[in-house]
Amino acid sequence: MTTSTSAPALYGGTSARRVTVRDIAAAKERGERWPMLTAYDALTARVFDEAGIPVLLVGDSAAMVVYGYDSTLPVSVDDLLPLTAAVARSTTRAMVVADLPFGAYQASPEQALEAAARFMKDGHANAVKLEGGRRMAPQVEALVSAGVPVMGHIGLTPQSVNALGGYRVQGRGDQGAEELLADAKELERAGAFSVVLECVPAELAARITAELSIPTVGIGAGPDTDAQVLVWQDMAGLSPRVAKFVKAYADLNSTLAGAAKSFAEEVVGGSFPDAEHSYS
């Protein structure tokens, strides 16, 4: 596909329409890097959309950061649907990608399509994401043939954490690297428009990125992927524990704690509400 060098950038673009898979593909051809963040509610989604973030992921990480579980496994389609709809309603430009939760797509392509259809119809998502490499190719093919854009996810796949033996780097060693590369190529062949590489050695992630025609999205996969994604609470310094690959760009934990304490002290001391914040 030939694209114009004057095509609008993904990050910070000002077009009024949604970012599409064609825009994502064009960015790959231009060699343009782009950011992706998670979002789970209307207010933060609006902030990120207005900041120019081109892709927002309603991740199954909501299990931890919204619902308080210790892994992604407990959340269901019903848990994630209202979050996806809230993000979609409050944004105008960002592509909204919905995570298919554990147990909603692994059984068969038919099950995957049923879950994806709910996210597209009721959640107003623009695409879905699912975990797994070659074994998920039939699901990807079924979704794409039905008109559902699919983002793949390989490497450390949190929904398989029990089978993987914990949160460990994936793709180390010659055999592991070749298997991960084969997974990425099969997802591309099946029709995925991009693929997340999580907790993958940087050299391997660079090799996969170079060998795929679709964009790679790194999270703990070094600097050479086409895009980078973080859970927004990790990025903003709100999460109490984070992985090695996380960089905090703010300290919202301290900011919110300070605001709560200031509010509490004024209530206890009787200075809030004052006349300015009262009706006459």
| Pair of tokens at residue 249 | 């760009």
Q: Is 198 a catalytic residue?
A: yes
DSSP label of 107: S
Determine the Cα–Cα distance for residues 85 and 131; give it in Å rounded to an integer.
Answer: 21
Select which of 29, 188, 198, 266 is catalytic: 198
| Pair of tokens at residue 43 | 């207010």
Please check whether residue 93 is in contact with residue 131, taking contact to mean a CB–CB distance below 8 angstroms: no
Determine the Cα–Cα distance for residues 221 and 223; give it in Å rounded to an integer.
Answer: 7
- Whether omega for the bond prior to residue 138 falls within 30 degrees of 0, making it cis, is no
Ramachandran quadrant class, 191 (left: phi over 0; alpha: psi -120 to 50; beta: rest): left
Determine the Cα–Cα distance for residues 50 and 29; give it in Å rounded to an integer.
Answer: 25
| Pair of tokens at residue 200 | 């993958």
**Nearest Cα to Cα of residue 75 among 45, 51, 103:** 103
Q: Any bridge partners for residue 219, and if so which?
A: 198
Q: Any bridge partners for residue 154, and if so which?
A: 197
As a whole number of Å, the end-to-end CA separation of the chain is 65
Catalytically active residues are: 198
